[in-house]
Structure 1
């Protein structure tokens, strides 16, 4: 099994090792390729302006990090086209669908970028141009592969004219319109071909040759070769570029409703998820994804193993329908844990209203799975993902639960993503995100930012002050924006802009939003009055950050407007994101 992952740069060890493996594949699979072209791969990723293309690298890797294949795509944003530089499986890797999976990801990427299509070179399948029978066979297999995706050589041009008269195997220029029906006009094609030849092959092609080839693209519209390898019934089965990278990957906790505390006044109930789903399913911008099952090591990375084990054990021992609420808090001697399981709840909890019951473990565990599933979608290439979960998680600290939270979903996802680039967490819940603050307080690879009601009147009361800025290596990487009990929308949005500036200056690779909708007017746990329109504006401003973004659901308890506010926030986020790829 393998997964497809996008590599943005080689700053971190995991990416650096992956890029090194890509260079090794290039060296082995393309022995005629100049060493300088292989060595410059990291620089292509780091310095797009220098090379006049924005390079996009996808790899197919095994769980342990072995790269099974890769694809390198160049994006020209002004002319709005993509050029496929390389796509290859590793030596001795055959079958398994690696080439198809990589190319399908490139097509989704290109469609998201709004280009006219993907251009690339393929060696000819014409015996007159390729006299070597073995190479001809390989060329035909390659062109047959691309035909399955609707990519065909452009015809009636001089592109396959050899640079030197005695050269053989002059390449075709192949065009994949990604299923878009807009015709390719000659003026556009000429500009694109000139960019390809001058920027990629200017050191090999004389100016006169480039001018001659460019001028030959004069048919209107530019035509491609009819299918040569597909059967008549196959064109309808051409895999479409669906545009899924322009959608929001949606992972829903399918086990949330087993955690249902029926005590009067307990507002964290299953209806919250149903209210949100009912509204967001009206929109065509979501793609429901299957939730994976992830090993417990991801929880242990952000929570005390002793707390995890206690939580598991106490949930197993409780009878169906029975809840235990913390009521004894051993602050006088925290070194001695109470022996009785029910009493020990206070050793790990920060309040008296977050119960333990038989199903809390399973529901909370699945919430982490949802967040990690969404994190993987970001690694895969999605720009937006939404983990619709309950119970929430942002009050769960390293060794404690509380505020209806047991495991910190956002923290688990942030730690996971931090292996591939810096992460920023923005918590917009009415209540302080104390969980993330505690977990990452001494780390610089995860920036934690929280906008919330001031702790002098808002839960959790003991954290969220402005002077809490981190410790040790993490000093300066925690930022709190405590706000007054009553405030207008303008003040809130001004504070948001300050927080977004802080995040932008940090230059993270990924952004996680802890989405609390308890900032809405009339929420039983808050005092602010944001409207649906305000949530839309909030989403747009966050979406304007050009970062892959994971939204994790936190609070929000006024069920009559909860779904409407979620829909407006996510619509705003989506509209902001698709205009800033």
Structure 2
């Protein structure tokens, strides 16, 4: 088993370790490669346009974080083409679909960027150009692999001319047009070929050689070799655009088991159904099944004693019975009572969030959904949505409350923080006290919350402007408490302040705690946002152009909750993807010019 993820920089230990492994694969699979080309890969990610290309790196990792393969793609935004530098599996890796999975990722990325195609070099499958029978067989297998995707050598040019007369195995220039209609015209091909030769091989190729090759592109349009290993490319010749153009949707498939049928308990299953019904009317989403994650992800942000208590008390309660906290430890907190139900107040901040037999299973599944959606960002999706209940943003390190048991957004942010800096934007009507407490002393996770002022809004005890963080986290918590009566225009003014702070932080990932209880008529709020306001909010958030995970929090006016959710995501998609450059086998290694 392996997963594909994109590496944006070398700022985190997990990314640096992956880059070291990528460099080792290069040394093993490309022994003739210039060591300087291997050493500069981290710099390509840090300074994407220094060398005239934007570097895009995907790695295939197993569950232990071992890199089993990688693909490095370069994109030229001026000329609008992509160049596949390397795609290779690790030396000891055979089969398993790693090469195909990596290549499908870079094809999807290139198409989303608007590239005219992917160019790369492949050694020849012509016996006249390759005299070694063993190498010839390897070359044939490699070109057969690419041909399945519609990638074919460009013919009728002098590209295969050896640098030294008589040299064996000169490479073809291969073009994958990404299933797009139309052929590459000569006037566009020539500057692309010049860019490839000058930037990649300028230290080897003389100006006269480069000019000779460029001038040889005389066909208009350029010609691709007819398929040699099959009649037609398979359907994969047209990349799917799920990861780069769709919103990954992960729904808690066990949320309905947590149905508290008591008067006044507004956090009900109908909320999810109402949202799903509206989302299905769009074509923006791609459904992903939730994965199961071990409990260590819970204890990455929550105290172990709380996690163990919550699990044990839920398991011991009879079906259909709910217990509400009613005794709180103002004195002798170090001596909790033996009875688990009475002990609930030691871990809760209110009297209306119940414990019952299904609460653990539903809450744990919400965490699984948030982590699945976070992993989707690591795997190349730009937008992901964890549609969950119970919600989570009121759950602190060792307490639950506000219908929340585990902090789904914080646990997902903790996972993402291993791969880059994270900003959490909480746009629920109520203060995101859980994220604030969990990350209050950290500088790698910025927490920002827009909410009703704690003078009148739950949870009442946190969310004040002067709560800005402690220690190294000082200045990395921003609260924007807002007045009791607020319309969409006023809300957007506050939101822009929040987004400016996030912009200055320059995070790698954004986590949005989405509360739809800011809507007009919500039974838990006092504001008056309408559907058009949610669309504007989504568009403004999307305009940050960050890999973004949205985690569902509150929102209890079921008649409009779905409509408001749909408008938010339409705006988010338009802001992030509609006009944006979409940025978050055996060795298919290709020998570059010697």
The reply to whether TM is greater than 0.5 is yes
Query: Post-superposition shift, 1:198?
Result: 1.3
Q: CA–CA distance in 1 between the matches of 2:220 and 2:290? A: 48
Q: CA–CA distance in 2 between the matches of 1:32 and 1:446? A: 42
Q: What SS does structure 1 have at the residue aligned with 2:412?
A: helix
Q: CA–CA distance in 1 between the matches of 2:183 and 2:152? A: 14
Query: Post-superposition shift, 1:459?
Result: 0.4
What is the CA deviation profile of residues 512-533 of structure 1, one whole-angstrom value per residue up to 9, with x for unaligned ones? 0000010111111111111111
Q: Is the 2:146–2:152 contact (alpha carbons within 8 Å) kept by the matching residues of 1?
A: yes
Partner of 1:73: 73
Partner of 1:452: 451
**CA spacing shift, 1:532–1:399, aligned 2, 3 Å:** same
Q: CA–CA distance in 1 between the matches of 2:79 and 2:537? A: 32
Q: Aligned ranges for residues 474-485 of structure 1 at < 5 Å?
A: 474-485=473-484
Q: CA–CA distance in 2 between the matches of 1:348 and 1:223? A: 70
Q: CA–CA distance in 2 between the matches of 1:336 and 1:357? A: 24
Partner of 1:218: 218
Q: CA–CA distance in 2 between the matches of 1:465 and 1:95? A: 56
TM superposition score normalised by structure 1: 0.98
* Residues 215-224 or 22-31, more deviating: 215-224
Q: CA–CA distance in 1 between the matches of 2:79 and 2:283? A: 29
Q: CA–CA distance in 2 between the matches of 1:52 and 1:322? A: 65
Partner of 1:560: 559
What is the CA deviation profile of residues 508-553 of structure 1, one whole-angstrom value per residue up to 9, with x for unaligned ones? 1110000001011111111111111111111111111121100000
TM superposition score normalised by structure 2: 0.96
> Do structure 1's residue 241 and structure 2's residue 236 form an aligned pair?
no
Query: Post-superposition shift, 1:239?
Result: 5.5
* Residues 445-454 or 312-321, more deviating: 312-321
Q: CA–CA distance in 2 between the matches of 1:239 and 1:198? A: 29
Unaligned stretches of 5+ residues in structure 2: 583-594
Q: CA–CA distance in 2 between the matches of 1:532 and 1:211? A: 58
What is the CA deviation profile of residues 109-142 of structure 1, one whole-angstrom value per residue up to 9, with x for unaligned ones? 1122121111101011111111111111111111
Query: Post-superposition shift, 1:402?
Result: 0.5
Q: Aligned ranges for residues 116-515 of structure 1 at < 5 Å?
A: 116-230=116-230, 232=231, 235-238=233-236, 240-245=238-243, 246-515=245-514
Q: CA–CA distance in 2 between the matches of 1:238 and 1:112? A: 15
What is the CA deviation profile of residues 360-418 of structure 1, one whole-angstrom value per residue up to 9, with x for unaligned ones? 11000000000000111101010000000000000000000000000000011001111
Q: Is the 2:149–2:234 contact (alpha carbons within 8 Å) kept by the matching residues of 1?
A: no
Q: What SS does structure 1 have at the residue aligned with 2:560?
A: helix
What is the CA deviation profile of residues 463-513 of structure 1, one whole-angstrom value per residue up to 9, with x for unaligned ones? 000000111121111110001011232221121111111111111111000
RMSD, matched Cα? 1.2
Partner of 1:534: 533
Partner of 2:45: 45
Q: CA–CA distance in 1 between the matches of 2:213 and 2:330? A: 80
Q: What SS does structure 1 have at the residue aligned with 2:99?
A: helix
Query: Post-superposition shift, 1:236?
Result: 4.1
Q: What SS does structure 2 have at the residue aligned with 1:116?
A: coil
Q: What SS does structure 1 have at the residue aligned with 2:486?
A: coil
Q: Which runs of 4+ in 1 moved over 3 A?
A: 234-240
Q: What SS does structure 1 have at the residue aligned with 2:57?
A: strand
Q: Is the 2:545–2:575 contact (alpha carbons within 8 Å) kept by the matching residues of 1?
A: no
Q: What SS does structure 2 have at the residue aligned with 1:560?
A: coil
Q: CA–CA distance in 2 between the matches of 1:532 and 1:224? A: 50
Q: CA–CA distance in 1 between the matches of 2:380 and 2:462? A: 36
**CA spacing shift, 1:236–1:51, aligned 2, 3 Å:** closer
| Matched residues, number | 579
Q: CA–CA distance in 2 between the matches of 1:238 and 1:418? A: 34
Partner of 1:23: 23
Partner of 1:57: 57
What is the CA deviation profile of residues 157-180 of structure 1, one whole-angstrom value per residue up to 9, with x for unaligned ones? 221122222222111111111111
Q: Is the 2:151–2:175 contact (alpha carbons within 8 Å) kept by the matching residues of 1?
A: yes
Unaligned stretches of 5+ residues in structure 1: none
Q: What SS does structure 1 have at the residue aligned with 2:320?
A: coil
* Residues 383-392 or 46-55, more deviating: 46-55
> Do structure 1's residue 91 and structure 2's residue 99 form an aligned pair?
no
Q: CA–CA distance in 2 between the matches of 1:70 and 1:358? A: 45
Query: Post-superposition shift, 1:251?
Result: 0.4
Partner of 1:546: 545
Greater relative contact order (Cα < 8 A, sep 6+): 2
Q: CA–CA distance in 2 between the matches of 1:488 and 1:244? A: 35
* Residues 212-221 or 150-159, more deviating: 212-221
Q: CA–CA distance in 2 between the matches of 1:74 and 1:236? A: 25
Query: Post-superposition shift, 1:208?
Result: 2.0
Query: Post-superposition shift, 1:237?
Result: 4.3
Q: CA–CA distance in 1 between the matches of 2:366 and 2:527? A: 27
